[in-house]
Structure 1
Amino acid sequence: MSRKRQAALRSTGARSTDPEDYQRVPRAVAAMPKDFAAGHEIAPHRHARAQLIYATVGTMRVSTDAAVWVVPPQRALWMPAGIRHSITMSGDVTMRTLYLRHDAAAGMPEVCRVLQVSPLLRELIVRATELPMHYDERGAAGHVVALILDELHHEQSLPLHLPMPRDRRLRRLCTTLLEQPGDPRTLEEWAHSANASPRTLARLFVAETGLTFGAWRQQARVLEAMGRLGGGQAVTEVALDLGYDSVSAFSAMFRRASGVSPSAYRPSR
């Protein structure tokens, strides 16, 4: 951001919705509020600052070359500086993202991690997006930012990611399953369309993702279910959309994978 533009934003008190304007703000944390319509896609990009990707409403799917994460309102994704990623909105999204200066991000994970968002951290993030971009670091705003950094450094990291293969045949298969998680095709059927043997695909799946085909698909469905349930979608609707014949079968799978029932995962209204 040019000095002229910085001065203009500072004098008017306006809050930009251009991420580039937040990369060189002379503050430890820069908070950007921005709303997106359902289905909106942010093309692959990277930032100079580390980013906490979070939305108070709606679910996002964040993708890098290596993995995919589903991020509902109860979660946030820590994105280290310089990592190329894209974001797809599942439903209308109220994004409230943070950009951390290098020194403020010290001690945070050096790889992408899903973080639990406590009620306190949620309110602090919302408050940060209401502050001027050039907030007074010695006043109340500085205390808000200090609390955010303290909360971030103590939030639990959750293993909620989906490794993506590099083999073009597997990547095409996995991309289709991410778009249509209820697709019931077996590995044998996928192998036929990929012009490869089932044994070859099975071996590649384990070699490139560390998971079998069945385990990868189940993890994809779990993450998709978390996003939909976290957004308030009905359990029965989620179960049928994800290809399960019954709600009980879906609930049993979800409980094994997450430790809680689907209904317990939905937000209280």
Structure 2
Amino acid sequence: MTTPLIRPDLVTSPDGPFLAAAELTQAAPREMSLHSHARGQLMGALSGLMSIGLESHRWVVPAIHAIWIPPHRAHSVRSFGPFAGWSVFIAEARCEALPKEPRAIRASALMREAVHRAATWPGEPLDASQARIADVIIDELAAAHEEPLHLPRPADAALVKITDALGRDLADNRRLEEWAAWAGVSARTLSRRFIADTGLTFAQWRQQARMLRSLERVADGAPVTIIALELGYENISAFIDVFRRTFGTTPGRYTAMKRV
């Protein structure tokens, strides 16, 4: 059974402080099955990696990033390898000005420091100083730019067949035309449906799937050479180049990212 990160009443009750926070550091993976709550939740990683299942999307949250989950949205959570992170729970009434849809963000240093301070509070009504810090967290969330750290799951049956197959073997380098023939549709139809159903081209969807999987494997401590081969890259340099263009750093430097 997963130990609660924070007092249950600070998650489920509209009473008490309008913002409550907690921090967590652990060596073992953490997993929570599908659940929801009336408060909005902002979940951040300081080191390591989280994967979040949310409706038809899978989100991956690497170090110094966070995901915003609006109130009442069912989600599951899993961490990979040694992990340090935090959660903020915001009363539903204070979520009106916040994004109505889930989003991944890069947590600013100001936000992370404010959360660190809020995590020390005892769960009582906030005094004036605490309320100002809580408002900083909410303001930083409202102003944060969205980061592309999610993978949309298509609804179309042919696309689901293909994406499920790719999910089982991301090293499969078949071209769009070959996948279309395998799924029994024309290449033009497949291309059009991918964009309409996911907002991404087939090539973009596969690269996004590979990059999100690479974060999980990096967090697990897998060697870069193994990851590159598992994801279908012909050589390590090609994989590192795509990783750097996607996440702004190399796999080796990503593993060293700490709370700074």
Please give the TM-score of this superposition, normalised by the length of structure 2. Answer: 0.78
Question: Cα deviations across residues 62-93 of structure 1 (Å, max 9, x unaligned)?
Answer: 12223221101221001111222222322233
- Please say if 1:23 is aligned against 2:12: yes
The secondary structure found in structure 1 opposite 2:94 is coil
Mapping for residues 1-269 of structure 1, pairs under 5 Å: 17=6, 19=8, 21-24=10-13, 25-34=15-24, 37-38=28-29, 40-134=30-124, 136-138=125-127, 140-171=129-160, 173-175=162-164, 177-178=166-167, 180-184=169-173, 186=175, 196-197=184-185, 199=187, 201-226=190-215, 235-258=224-247, 261-262=250-251, 265-268=254-257
Shift of 1:217: 0.6
Shift of 1:47: 1.8
> 2:19 and 2:164 mapped to 1: Cα distance?
34
The secondary structure found in structure 2 opposite 1:26 is coil
Letter of the 2:64 partner, please give it: Q
More deviation in 16-25 or 153-162?
Answer: 16-25
Question: Cα deviations across residues 176-233 of structure 1 (Å, max 9, x unaligned)?
Answer: 5446544445556656775x34636444323311323222110112233345557876
Distance 1:33 1:254, change over 3 A: closer
The answer to whether the 8 A contact 1:17-1:34 is kept is no
The secondary structure found in structure 2 opposite 1:61 is strand
Shift of 1:115: 1.0
> 1:258 and 1:175 mapped to 2: Cα distance?
25
More deviation in 205-214 or 109-118?
Answer: 205-214
**Percentage of matched positions with identical amino acids:** 35
The answer to whether the 8 A contact 2:42-2:87 is kept is yes
The answer to whether the 8 A contact 1:231-1:267 is kept is no
The secondary structure found in structure 1 opposite 2:197 is helix
> 2:179 and 2:88 mapped to 1: Cα distance?
40
Which runs of 5 or more residues in structure 1 are unaligned? 1-14
The answer to whether the 8 A contact 1:61-1:69 is kept is yes
> 2:39 and 2:64 mapped to 1: Cα distance?
23
Letter of the 2:202 partner, please give it: F
The answer to whether the 8 A contact 1:240-1:246 is kept is yes
> 1:178 and 1:87 mapped to 2: Cα distance?
19
> 1:170 and 1:121 mapped to 2: Cα distance?
39
Distance 1:150 1:202, change over 3 A: closer
> 1:27 and 1:54 mapped to 2: Cα distance?
20
> 1:70 and 1:161 mapped to 2: Cα distance?
6
> 1:211 and 1:16 mapped to 2: Cα distance?
35
More deviation in 219-228 or 124-133?
Answer: 219-228
Please give the TM-score of this superposition, normalised by the length of structure 1. Answer: 0.76
Letter of the 1:73 partner, please give it: A
The answer to whether the 8 A contact 2:11-2:38 is kept is no
Distance 1:253 1:47, change over 3 A: same
